[in-house]
Structure 1
Amino acid sequence: MAKKQKGGFFMLDQSAVGLSIRQKFTYTWRDVILYNLSVGAGQKELEYVYEKVLKAIPTFGVIPCAATFGTEPYSEQPVMPTSKITGMKKEGTLHMDHKLTLFRPIPVEGSLTIDKVITGVYDRGEGKGAKIEVEITATDESGETVFTNTMGYLNRWAGGFGGPKPPASTVEIPERAPDLTAEDHYPDNTPLLYRLTGDTFPLHVDPAFAQKSGFDRPIVHGLCSLGHACRLLTRLLFPGQPERLVSIENQFRSVAMPGDSFTLQVWKEEGRAVFRMVNNRDGKAILDYGCATYQ
């Protein structure tokens, strides 16, 4: 069924399920350090910035989702199977939620096969947009799975096509005060640095593109916020041992701007922690309904 979108028409229905893309992703220890720096790592976290003792912050595993650098075939902009939906444009498409599952610690260099496939198309209702779910699997040269990502995208113009409703989150934030907190901020050059890890989507650098998408200026990458949360979360729960993380998921609730400061709120539960990241500028949640499991 063709649905009206600003600037034209595109098809969105269950026929999009199964559309896929395969890429190769090759990286070195320098890419790992660049990522770690882009999500706030510094001198006090030597394991994230010094190649002789290097570990990847676990959310480095999100990088192949939207990477341009180090990919084959190469593309100037991140490539997703959603690009195969006829007429669908990037403007008005936002990252809605994300889950990263780790099957073992991420090597600090290597070559991975990345398979991206659309696994669900959900209707949020007329005027509320549609959710497109993409599953991304990374396997090493021996064929073993290293990590998977599940990404939920919101297209603001595509709701009301009669599809199934998206499943609700099963994560609940406790009403009590958080057990742990940590504060940090986004330096003014945060999106400019983070995009060098591979996510060169113009929303985070091009003022004209940002305005077409409904924002006054370029915004911080949602996955950059998740990287900050992961770094702080592992530091609070098991400092110096990021390899203990098994999974991390969240919903993206509001945009963050370069220069904003934020507070990570963490509630400890049996075998896991739930979390929320709050923007200190306006009190709104940047990330919400977050959950991390660990060993």
Structure 2
Amino acid sequence: MPIDPTAVGSQSEPVRHSWTSSDAILYALGVGAGAVDPLDELGFTTENSNGVTQQVLPTMAVVLGVGGGGAFGSIGSFNPAMLVHGEQAIQLHGPIPVAGEVETVGEITAIYDKGKGALVEVRSASTDTATGQPLFTTTMSAFIRGEGGFGGERGPSGPKNPPPERAPDHEQAYVTRSDQALIYRLSGDRNPLHSDPTFAAMGGFDRPILHGLCTYGFTGRALLHRLCEGDPTRFRAMEGRFSSPVMPGERLMVHMWETGAGEALFQTTGDDGRAVLSGGRLAYAVAS
């Protein structure tokens, strides 16, 4: 059955996911925390340092809000190998607990006909089961190659969140490890594209590539430290578009432009200056 545009509005069954203090630390290490200045990120990489309270990186929402993708089951059949992660956004309703459990429900919020493929957007709302309060919302879009041409709306197009034509206000460089994908995958994404050279070759790569959401996590760290002074309670929302694959071991540069009180645009580039995460926007609380 081809892609069914009437699936917009379909929801997944609620899925529960729990995590521990160790999971929060493993995620932080998976997105490079502690590699530049261990003392600066001690609160994210250890639970037992004197005088330091453990915290959770805001971008961990992308691995905790699992289950919402079950809504994809309502859109019809397609070849999963033809699916490409297009965009990712998170909205935090408060700091993520060091350990806890969420219940997540996903909803198909849009299906667009892009001609050569279909663009499907899924929004997943995660509720803290201990308090009954919303904890975070994640939104992802996926481009499914070969599934267009069904006569649906084309949807929005063109550049999103273009940065100002001036030098960035802040820049932050991070070098990923050669084994970065092997560490990051322990947080849940076991796609062999990021670990198995044979599988990566089938996808046209000479070696396994880094998870796009790992690049997203590295970028989120830069935004947190340069714009929120390392305080996760000030980090409100982040969105960006995956523009190019990253190879483990590559150097990432995050360029940031402050565009208003509590708002910034950003772009992350790779070794050769190409954009790897573009159309980026951060919303954050301004320090009082």
- Residue 205 of structure 1: aligned partner: 195
Report deviation, 1:209: 3.2
Q: Which of 81-90 and 239-248 deviates more?
A: 81-90
2:162 to 172, 175, 193: 172
Report deviation, 1:170: 4.5
What CA deviation, in whole Å up to 9, does each residue of 1:233-275 have, x standing for no partner? Answer: 1111132312201100001100001111111100012121110
C-alpha separation in 2, matches of 1:132 and 1:217: 28
Report deviation, 1:181: 0.5
Evaluate the alpha carbon distance shift between residue 119 and residue 79 of structure 1 in structure 2; reply closer, same or farther with a 3 A threshold.
closer
The one-letter code matched in structure 1 to 2:123 is E
| 1:132 equivalent in alignment to 2:120 | yes
TM-score normalised over the length of structure 2: 0.89
What CA deviation, in whole Å up to 9, does each residue of 1:61-98 have, x standing for no partner? Answer: 1113457xxxxxxxxxx963324544322202111001
Q: Which of 19-28 and 161-170 deviates more?
A: 161-170
C-alpha separation in 2, matches of 1:51 and 1:166: 46
Report deviation, 1:16: 2.8
| 1:260 equivalent in alignment to 2:217 | no
C-alpha separation in 2, matches of 1:58 and 1:16: 30
Unmatched 5+ residue regions in structure 2? none
| 1:223 equivalent in alignment to 2:213 | yes
TM-score normalised over the length of structure 1: 0.87
- Residue 18 of structure 2: aligned partner: 26
C-alpha separation in 2, matches of 1:259 and 1:66: 27
| 1:48 equivalent in alignment to 2:36 | no
Contact 1:91 1:212 survives alignment (8 Å) = no
Give secondary structure in 2 for the equivalent of 1:196: helix
Give the total of aligned pairs. 273
The one-letter code matched in structure 2 to 1:123 is D
What CA deviation, in whole Å up to 9, does each residue of 1:110-131 have, x standing for no partner? Answer: 0110112221111111x3x211
The two structures, once aligned, show a CA RMSD in angstroms of 1.8
Evaluate the alpha carbon distance shift between residue 257 and residue 80 of structure 1 in structure 2; reply closer, same or farther with a 3 A threshold.
farther
Q: Which of 161-170 and 57-66 deviates more?
A: 161-170
Give secondary structure in 1 for the equivalent of 2:80: coil
Give secondary structure in 2 for the equivalent of 1:175: coil
C-alpha separation in 2, matches of 1:108 and 1:235: 19
C-alpha separation in 2, matches of 1:48 and 1:64: 16
Report deviation, 1:197: 0.5
- Residue 279 of structure 1: aligned partner: 270
- Residue 63 of structure 1: aligned partner: 63
Contact 1:48 1:55 survives alignment (8 Å) = yes
Q: Which of 160-169 and 265-274 deviates more?
A: 160-169
- Residue 155 of structure 1: aligned partner: 144
C-alpha separation in 1, matches of 2:140 and 2:69: 13
Contact 1:48 1:57 survives alignment (8 Å) = yes
Evaluate the alpha carbon distance shift between residue 19 and residue 145 of structure 1 in structure 2; reply closer, same or farther with a 3 A threshold.
closer
Contact 1:273 1:291 survives alignment (8 Å) = yes
The one-letter code matched in structure 1 to 2:246 is A
Give secondary structure in 1 for the equivalent of 2:103: strand
Unmatched 5+ residue regions in structure 1? 1-9, 68-77
Contact 1:65 1:136 survives alignment (8 Å) = yes
Contact 1:66 1:198 survives alignment (8 Å) = no
Evaluate the alpha carbon distance shift between residue 215 and residue 158 of structure 1 in structure 2; reply closer, same or farther with a 3 A threshold.
farther
- Residue 111 of structure 2: aligned partner: 121
C-alpha separation in 2, matches of 1:264 and 1:132: 27
